[in-house]
Chain A
Amino acid sequence: MARDVIVVGAGGGGPVLAKELAAQGLDVLLLEAGPFYTKPDRDWVHLENEANNPLTGYFRFGPADRSQPAWYRETPQNSFLWQLAGVGGTTLHYYGNCPRAMPGVFQGYSGADASAYDSAVFPFTYAELVPYYEWVEHTLPVQTAAQGTKEEVFFAGAATLGIPHNTNKNVSVPSYRAQENAILQPGGTAGVTTVAQGQAIYPHGTGCTFCGYCFQGCKEPFGAPFNLKAKRTTLVSYVPMALTAGAPGSWAPHGKAVTLVPNAFATKVHTTMVQGALRACAVTWRDTATGQFNTEEASVIVMAGGTTENPRLWLNSGLPNPNGWVGQGYTDHYFDWLVGVFANDTFSSRGVGSSARVDWPGRGGLEQVGLPPALQAFSLMFSNSGMRGYYSNGAGSTDYGGGPLTDPSWDGPTGRTVGKELKSMLSNIDKLVNVLVITDDDVQPENRVTLSALNADDHGPVAKVEFPRGTRSHRTVANREFMARKAGELLRGAGATKVIRLDWPPLILHVQSTMRMGVSEADSVLDANAKSRWVDGLYIADNSALANALGGPNPTLTCQALATRTAERISQFEFGGDAFVSSGSPVVSTDPAITAALPPELA
């Protein structure tokens, strides 16, 4: 019997859409290529290699069986694609940062700085998305981040930039603020006591414990129920709601529980002709444990496998691509990284991964980031301009297309620290402050996903992700240089004794817009409802649907707001349902009714 909806991918967006449609009583099948982590307290450890090694860690893009190799992606340049398979997707290792997009990247924006943004705007207004932001912010929930020492240092520096403290969720002028995070604020003993490994905190302590391990998977407060973990990955927020819809006493009394199938790698979206038009009708997936292929039919198919995998699945399925924009327009916020060394303790390795930010409309933003030592070492070795003091790969030249090698805002040339300088920089991790430069980068066709000509695996030809060097637009490069200088000024203003700039190559972590929605049919894959322009019954509900790089803000919240809007559109247009956001009220994912109804494997 055919399902109502099949959702391919249970990352940051898929579970949002699945939960909302389940609440409307639709029969939803949710497929996920990676494993289902049902016991965070037991399975996640505060160890970096065990968690984050992209080849062997439990957070990797690979099968659940960790004795098997990871899945390959071709990245023919110095770059790093930080992808993750598993229920929760990249929200498993994200920092919960939930800023809204810049209003200037939406259609109809008429601010004085309108010309400062990417012209590839969203095909609707910012005001239209706000109710969906509010719905998601209540559901997760999103809360203002508490501060630690490293944030105090960051804000001391931000105040020297001559910009105000913003206390609003919307951004209109350059400003600094505490992050709006999908992380429960600390309560009781959490954040004010040091707690040994394995010692239960809950219920005396609730919310964030300042452990410093957002990237290794949040299992805090240790001992808390599954849906009361501090960081609101979709694994602990939307997925429990999806699985408990329609249960006795449910938060969604007229709902129907989602069927979740982990370890299911989708390999083909099938189509059929209906009244002369192409329509999606079924999905085939491979069980990554047994190798068996399965196919199910549905009235509607939603792709939510990620910004890299959606184009791969689309192209491997032989779906139409008449304007060539499937996979094109990859935006990644063209990150850069500056590190300041301080004389006093910053406790950079403790607390939330990022609780402080600067927003600069039309340019991008800055984030304070704390890391444990292995990732900190990685960050100090990641550069497109060679090894400091030895070679620069052409950085600083006009051919390179990047910024200058040296600048008063940082010390010495850009580049990776190697050998004794690396050891010196990392001689005390808790005297560092990292600033991530988040660039408002342009949608460009050169940055793209195609199928690798040489490499295929059990799921077909793999994705080839290209960010050709030296081809970023003038606006993108100028924005990155502007924000990198602000980062250096911030660190100097905060009192850093040494500031270095890495000039990162593409760290493909904030990923957007490879299946973008757009105003024009000529350069977009999706219409304003996130529906495919060329295949009926086929929608997209993850970061790849975003029209652009949002002006710099982290993409997950906007992805989730858009997925909520897409769910509402599907409910209305495909199944005759209601506009539930305007007529209903959201339920918070920490609701006791959800805790009480958790299925046995999560209880």
Chain B
Amino acid sequence: MSHDVPKRFGRRAFLVRTGVIGAALALADSNQFPGLSPSASTLSPSQLAPVFDALASDTINGLVAFVVPGPDPYSIAQGVSDVAPGGIDALATGFMLNALDNFYPVPQEPLRLLAQSLCTGINDNLPEIPGLPVVTRLAEQLDLALGAANSGQGTFPLSLMVALLLNFLATLIDPTAVNGDFLSPFARLSFAQKTQAFALLEGEASTVAAMIDSNLSEPAKESLSGLLEFLGGALVEFAAFGTYSEFGAFDASTRTVTMTPVGWTISQYLTVAPGRRPPEGWDEMKGYLGGETQASA
């Protein structure tokens, strides 16, 4: 069929844009992904899982360093870092992955819609990617595995959806972000470029939805753009909440903190001994406004 070639190109471009091929190649080069080689005939979802996990984690690292920068490599790479600890040090990446994959109750239908759109609907009118890697066989393997997951033979973690989305946006802002340090194109952006990615996501959600899949029907397009707009706010809000919460120092067995959480230190909130929680009360009462203890009716 006449559509086969451009569609395959579009799907390969998608895999590059979203960082999947880059992550697979990087892990193969470092021998962290022994099952992957251009000569392998098939990839099972379980073989693909390390690629997805690594890509999701790397992308979320780029997100939390953006929201609360610190002295970590992701903050340094974006050109905005800080000597005081930030989101990476507060383990906000783990907070985000846990929330997205285990507890954010997005039902399967919108997730499937997003996955399907990202996998099959790449619009041919997107900016060219310079130096698109020619690893056709690998692309086909990854594509087949994604397709299998999308057709119900596997599951799409929400963190992977978010990673694919942020990386896709990153290559719209800077097509050269498909190559460089880290696994994630989003993590390779400068701080200002990351703000541009979010400007697209929350300000032009319907446009982004159309870029992802110009063939979506109207109710599905509305639902997808609504989800994108919600994520545009929620991702940064949650990264901030997680960084400044007790998450990174929480002991679930005692429901106390093992040390003063990073977010409490950098906000000069409280210093708490290991195994303890905040106090039951403060000597903070100053009296009553105008000495009035009871309003009249």
**Measuring CB to CB, which residues of chain A are less than 8 angstroms from any residue of chain B?**
45-50, 53, 55-56, 62, 69-72, 74-80, 134, 143-144, 146-149, 151-152, 155, 165, 167-170, 177-178, 180, 185-186, 190-199, 201, 205, 209-213, 220-222, 347, 349-351, 356, 372-378, 380-383, 386-387, 390-391, 393-394, 416, 418-420, 422-423, 426-430, 453-457, 462, 505
A109 CB, min distance to chain B CBs, angstroms: 19
Interface residues of B in 61-117 (CB under 8 A from A): 66-69, 80, 82, 84, 86, 95, 98-99, 102-107, 109-110, 113
CB <8 Å contact, B109 and A455: yes
Give the docked Cα–Cα distance between A427 and B203 (Å): 29
Q: Given A144-B292, A144-B294, A373-B264, A50 and B250 touching (CB < 8 A)?
A: yes
Q: Given A167-B295, A350-B282, A505-B233, A376 and B288 touching (CB < 8 A)?
A: no
* B263 within 8 A of partner (CB): yes
CB <8 Å contact, B277 and A78: no
The 8 A-B residue pairs with the shortest CB-CB distance in the complex, in nearest-first order: A76-B226, A209-B281, A191-B285, A374-B245, A55-B103, A78-B233, A49-B245, A390-B195
Considering the complex, give the chain B residue whose CB is closest to the CB of A198: B280
CB <8 Å contact, A391 and B195: yes
Return the CB mask of B281-294 against A: 1 if under 8 Å, else 0: 11111111110111
Give me 7 A-to-B residue pairs in the complex whose CB atoms sit less than 8 angstroms apart, sorted by A's number: A47-B245, A50-B255, A144-B295, A210-B283, A220-B280, A377-B68, A381-B240
Give the docked Cα–Cα distance between A602 and B289 (Å): 36
Considering the complex, give the chain A residue whose CB is closest to the CB of B268: A428
CB <8 Å contact, B269 and A349: yes
Contact of B241 among A46, A134, A378, A462 (CB under 8 A): A378
CB <8 Å contact, A430 and B268: yes
Give the docked Cα–Cα distance between A386 and B200 (Å): 10
CB <8 Å contact, B80 and A419: yes
CB <8 Å contact, A419 and B69: yes
CB <8 Å contact, A178 and B292: yes
Q: Given A69-B103, A76-B229, A419-B67, A197 and B279 touching (CB < 8 A)?
A: yes
CB <8 Å contact, A375 and B107: no
* B244 within 8 A of partner (CB): yes
CB <8 Å contact, B296 and A177: no
CB <8 Å contact, A210 and B103: no
The residues of A that contact B196 with a CB separation of less than 8 Å are 390-391
**Measuring CB to CB, which residues of chain B are less than 8 angstroms from any residue of chain A?**
66-69, 80, 82, 84, 86, 95, 98-99, 102-107, 109-110, 113, 191-192, 195-196, 198-199, 202-203, 219, 222-223, 225-227, 229-230, 232-234, 236-237, 239-247, 250, 255, 257, 263-264, 266-269, 276-290, 292-297
The residues of B that contact A169 with a CB separation of less than 8 Å are 295-297
The residues of B that contact A78 with a CB separation of less than 8 Å are 202, 229-230, 232-234
Q: Given A381-B67, A387-B198, A456-B107, A423 and B282 touching (CB < 8 A)?
A: no
Q: Is the interface of A mostly helix, strand, loop or mixed?
A: loop
CB <8 Å contact, B293 and A374: no
Considering the complex, give the chain A residue whose CB is closest to the CB of B264: A373
A332 CB, min distance to chain B CBs, angstroms: 16
CB <8 Å contact, A143 and B294: yes
Considering the complex, give the chain B residue whose CB is closest to the CB of A55: B103
Q: Which of B103, B232, B281 has the most CB of A within 10 A?
A: B281
CB <8 Å contact, A205 and B281: yes
B64 CB, min distance to chain A CBs, angstroms: 11
Considering the complex, give the chain B residue whose CB is closest to the CB of A426: B267
Contact of B282 among A75, A209, A390, A453 (CB under 8 A): A209
CB <8 Å contact, B69 and A373: no
Q: Which of B66, B67, B219, B276 has the most CB of A within 10 A?
A: B67
Considering the complex, give the chain A residue whose CB is closest to the CB of B231: A78
The residues of A that contact B243 with a CB separation of less than 8 Å are 374, 377
B218 CB, min distance to chain A CBs, angstroms: 11
CB <8 Å contact, A178 and B280: no
CB <8 Å contact, A386 and B203: yes
Q: Which of A147, A221, A374, A456 has the most CB of B within 10 A?
A: A374
CB <8 Å contact, B284 and A351: yes
B262 CB, min distance to chain A CBs, angstroms: 10
A169 CB, min distance to chain B CBs, angstroms: 5
B290 CB, min distance to chain A CBs, angstroms: 6
CB <8 Å contact, B99 and A55: yes
The residues of B that contact A151 with a CB separation of less than 8 Å are 286, 289
The residues of B that contact A213 with a CB separation of less than 8 Å are 278
The residues of B that contact A376 with a CB separation of less than 8 Å are 244, 267
The residues of B that contact A430 with a CB separation of less than 8 Å are 268-269
The residues of B that contact A391 with a CB separation of less than 8 Å are 195-196, 198-199, 203
Q: Given A195-B281, A387-B198, A393-B199, A423 and B237 touching (CB < 8 A)?
A: no
Considering the complex, give the chain A residue whose CB is closest to the CB of B239: A381
CB <8 Å contact, A374 and B280: no
The residues of A that contact B267 with a CB separation of less than 8 Å are 373, 376-377, 426-429
